[in-house]
């Protein structure tokens, strides 16, 4: 199969492929998604198969407007307020599902469905021309770093999917915030993203705590909750602290004869650049948004280098740094200091 690259002038052709049950990757402001029309169960099953994704991990459905009444069992007042405030944008909302609308495989056996309206005009036009919402999990091999460019998608899926809509590098670089509207304990964030808890609470009031709302043995309602994600082939060591911590870890791996990659802020690389066999800058330490945008590209870059271990810098868990650290912790095999 030839994987074709589509642009602004060929969106209609990509939409036709989706209507025919083919898989088309598309850009969003967060990461690239692996698209299939959400009414075709075989197409949705193919998304799971191509990614190697566990079948109990539900998919997010991407819509082109805020008129979602035909897809869900109800739109609460708070949900409408959140859509008015943050759609289009990096916020996924979990609703009770309207029966018989989406292909059964979309929701992985749940009675709920996750919806979002991406802030990317090419993709909104793709959905409109397809005529039905699209599933869109990250367009990468399951468990590996998510793609933030069309080239990343092509690396993973060349010859395996019908095409990719090339929208350039994504703006945010981390997957959307996922908010569950269906938990009896209250509204709860299942996955952090660029839209923070504080921003959400300004619209709907206090959110419930995930640990309080979680039920033992409950299947994941959203991507990124259960399985290790975002990891390159090499072990990633997350380092918290300053130079004294980095000196210890670098000395350890140097004494073992290991080739080292460093994924860190520009300030830290200024000190340790000569100690590494490969480096990737996350930008200035004072710009966590830039670090978030570059994280997956950095992990993918390291995957292509001849390094045996990747040392990654921890950031403060505030604002988008919460989402950044959520992804980096899931990518890491260990943390120093423990």
Residue ranges at the known binding site for L-threonine: 30, 62, 116, 176
Query: Residues annotated in the binding site for ATP, as ranges?
Result: 53, 57, 112, 138, 146, 191, 230
The DSSP secondary-structure symbol of 257 reads T
Q: For tokens 């969003």, name the residue.
A: 28
CB 319 within 8 A of CB 196: yes
**For residue 256, which phi and psi values (nearest 5 degrees)?**
-90, 0
CB 113 within 8 A of CB 197: no
CB 1 within 8 A of CB 160: yes
Q: For tokens 């029309």, name the residue.
A: 37
SS3 (DSSP) at 5: strand
Neighbours of 202 (CB within 10 A): 10
CA distances from 307 to 172, 245, 260, 263 (A): 27, 20, 5, 12
CA distances from 151 to 6, 41, 155, 157, 244 (A): 13, 28, 6, 10, 38
Strand partners, 179: 93, 189
Query: Residues annotated in the binding site, as ranges?
Result: 30, 53, 57, 62, 112, 116, 138, 146, 176, 191, 230
Q: Rg for the chain (alpha carbons), in Å?
A: 20
């Amino acid at each position: 199969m030839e994987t074709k690259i589509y642009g602004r002038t060929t969106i209609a052709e990509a939409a036709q492929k989706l209507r025919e049950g083919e898989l088309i990757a598309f850009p969003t402001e967060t990461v690239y998604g692996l698209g299939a029309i959400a009414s075709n169960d075989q197409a949705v099953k193919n998304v799971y198969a191509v990614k190697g994704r566990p079948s109990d991990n539900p998919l997010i459905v991407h819509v082109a407007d805020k008129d979602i009444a035909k897809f869900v069992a109800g739109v609460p007042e708070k949900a409408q307020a959140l859509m008015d405030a943050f759609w289009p944008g990096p916020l996924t909302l979990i609703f009770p599902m309207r029966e018989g609308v989406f292909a059964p495989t979309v929701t992985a056996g749940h009675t709920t469905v996750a919806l979002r309206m991406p802030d990317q005009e090419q993709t909104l036009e793709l959905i409109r021309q397809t005529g039905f919402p699209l599933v869109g999990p990250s367009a990468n091999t399951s468990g590996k770093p998510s793609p933030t460019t069309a080239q990343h998608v092509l690396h993973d899926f060349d010859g395996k999917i019908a095409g990719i809509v090339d929208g350039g590098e994504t703006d945010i670089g981390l997957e959307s915030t996922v908010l569950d509207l269906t938990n009896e304990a209250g509204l709860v964030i299942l996955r952090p993203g660029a839209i923070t808890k504080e921003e959400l609470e300004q619209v709907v009031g206090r959110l419930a705590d995930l640990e309080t709302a979680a039920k033992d043995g409950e299947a994941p309602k959203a991507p990124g909750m259960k399985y290790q994600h975002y990891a390159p082939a090499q072990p990633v060591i997350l380092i918290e602290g300053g130079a004294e911590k980095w000196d210890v870890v670098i000395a350890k791996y140097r004494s073992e004869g290991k080739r080292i990659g460093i994924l860190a802020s520009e300030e830290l690389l200024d000190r340790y650049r000569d100690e590494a066999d490969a480096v990737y800058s996350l930008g200035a330490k004072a710009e966590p948004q830039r670090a978030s945008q570059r994280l997956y590209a950095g992990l993918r870059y390291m995957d292509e280098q001849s390094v045996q271990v990747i040392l990654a810098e921890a950031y403060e868990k505030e604002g988008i740094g919460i989402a950044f650290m959520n992804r980096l912790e899931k990518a890491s095999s260990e943390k120093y200091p423990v």
